[in-house]
Structure 1
């Protein structure tokens, strides 16, 4: 199946009170692991690259071709969206030119007026090519590719204004953070999410989905979250499975050092995690 943009699947998710998982890829193994899970569950999926991961992998065009070619080689039949995660203005424009199906312009660190104007520009450029757009209001806590957010709550009026630009989905700060959650984290602010969902019909996005308790994620999905981003958890399970393989000495058995064998447990762990999160998000309702 050819890659698709995210608008129709996210609109359907919002209407059906379920969410689509958006999983970051870092290499071939990540890509195969994510796609295998989506295919097994028979559900749509977003595969994302951050600016840093794309640089590491060799650029946005290489990342796009990797996902396109892996979809073809694996015989994937479920809808797949290639999405830029937390892109700045230049990255969003580059990914539009390269041919990503969906881009996030993250202008939360700019003065709101500038975020608004640049979002309008990205929407015009992207929609002219059939590419969906995500924007952000209210910073997401933690750090991702040098973009640091304190985790403040999204302002409802600013969110309404940003949604009115014609974006296809909106990332909103509701107490969520990137990376691992600290022990003193107080949880999602579902009251603010309720306020946002009451006045914004645009599908809402939950960043920092790794580590949020299942019950909070599911409440958030029922309230209007239509896309949940997961990255850190995939990194953690991949590392844990790889560590176990080495600590058990399997890399020293025969040709256990072969990267195809060395990375296999981690890839399987990603597939299992993605399948589990698909169930959490209720994505199977998309069938």
Structure 2
């Protein structure tokens, strides 16, 4: 992850993170990244890790699928919204390449203290750490949060004192579907960028316009997270095939259109974030 994010940050494009909700997602993400010659991050939200089989199984499946598919582009398995220090350590031990400790709901001193513990352990294993300040609104994988803008001073404090590798400052994005037009805090991004050289992470990117996305990338968002956009495409394709072919019962035939829908959206996002063919360089 070190090389992936540093290069994206320096050259002002972003590496997309796609959250997986099952093997169909993982296969589609890796295949499409390889096809597009793009670096990619596969996110597993802490809330559903156990439902998917646990950290060790996910790490093993990730490595085995990369090998079986012949993936040669940089691909990293990332823990999204790690809820506790222990969960982050568990992910590191299982073989994750990156973890996020989400202490955004805690007082800043406690957030810094816990994130520092994760950083200390993760860095010993060459694993990168993402931290968060503020609260990305909306619902993702059953977790709801009210929107709360990140405090500039707290962002600087977390970046400097905890030694994180990337920072997710909540500045107007939300998880899930947007109600109305997204209203990102570009002024806050620009001001914060003056005080820290840590790559930013944008959560809740599904539904953000290309123009706003490019503007966010210009302020140093080197990692952009997608989940809802993929899930909508997958569910719509699945619903369509089940509605139009009610006698169909072969699982692979039912799932084939939804896998294709995932791959189409993933490629669109890779192009949108500027990661397309960046693994060629």
Smaller-chain TM-score range? Answer: over 0.9
Counting only pairs closer than 5 Å after superposition, residues 16-55 of structure 1 correspond to structure 2 as: 16-55=11-50
Equivalent position of 1:149 in the other structure: 145
Q: Which runs of 5+ in 1 are unaligned?
A: 1-5
Give the alignment partner of residue 132 of structure 2, picking from 129, 136, 142. Answer: 136
- The structure 2 residue matched to 1:13, chosen from 8, 30, 35, is 8
CA contact (8 A) 2:173 2:182 kept: no
Contact map agreement 1:47 1:83 (CA 8 A) in 2? yes
**In 1, Cα distance between the equivalents of 2:104 and 2:151?**
11
Structure 1 position 143, deviation (Å)? 2.8
2:113 matched to which residue of 1?
117
Q: Any conservation in 1 of the 2:9–2:220 contact (CA below 8 Å)?
A: yes
Distance 1:68 1:166, change over 3 A: same
Gap runs ≥5 in structure 2: none
Partner of 1:265: 257
2:70 is the alignment partner of 1:70: no
Aligned residue pair count: 277
- Distance change >3 Å, CA 276–CA 146, structure 1 → 2: closer
Aligned position for 2:172? 175
Deviation at 1:194, TM superposition (A): 0.9
Q: Which residue of 2 aligns with 1:3?
A: none
Task: Measure, in 1, the Cα distance between the counterparts of 2:27 and 2:78.
Answer: 16
> What is the CA-CA distance between 1:147 and the residue it aligns to?
4.5
Structure 2 matches for 1:145-224, cutoff 5 A? 145=141, 147-164=143-160, 165-183=162-180, 185-224=181-220
Q: What SS does the corresponding residue of 2:139 show, helix, strand or coil?
A: strand
Deviation at 1:150, TM superposition (A): 2.1
Q: Alignment partner of 1:199: what SS? A: coil
Where in structure 1 do 4 or more consecutive aligned residues deviate above 4 Å? none
TM superposition shift of 1:212? 1.1
Q: Compared with structure 1, are the counterparts of its residues 50 and 186 closer, same or farther at alpha carbon in structure 2 (3 Å cutoff)?
A: closer
1:147-177: CA deviation from partner (whole Å, max 9, x where unpaired): 5432222111111111112211111111011
Q: Which residue of 1 aligns with 2:226?
A: 230
Q: Distance in 1 between matches of 2:182 and 2:35?
A: 35
TM-score by length of 1: 0.93
Q: How many angstroms does 1:110 deviate by?
A: 0.9
| Counterpart secondary structure, 2:88 | helix
Residue 186 of structure 1, CA deviation: 4.8
Q: Secondary structure at the match of 1:86?
A: strand
Alpha-carbon spacing, 1:40–1:102, altered in 2? closer, same or farther (3 Å): same
1:225-251 deviation line (CA, Å, top 9, x unaligned): 1100000111100001111111221x5
1:242 to 238, 241, 259: 238
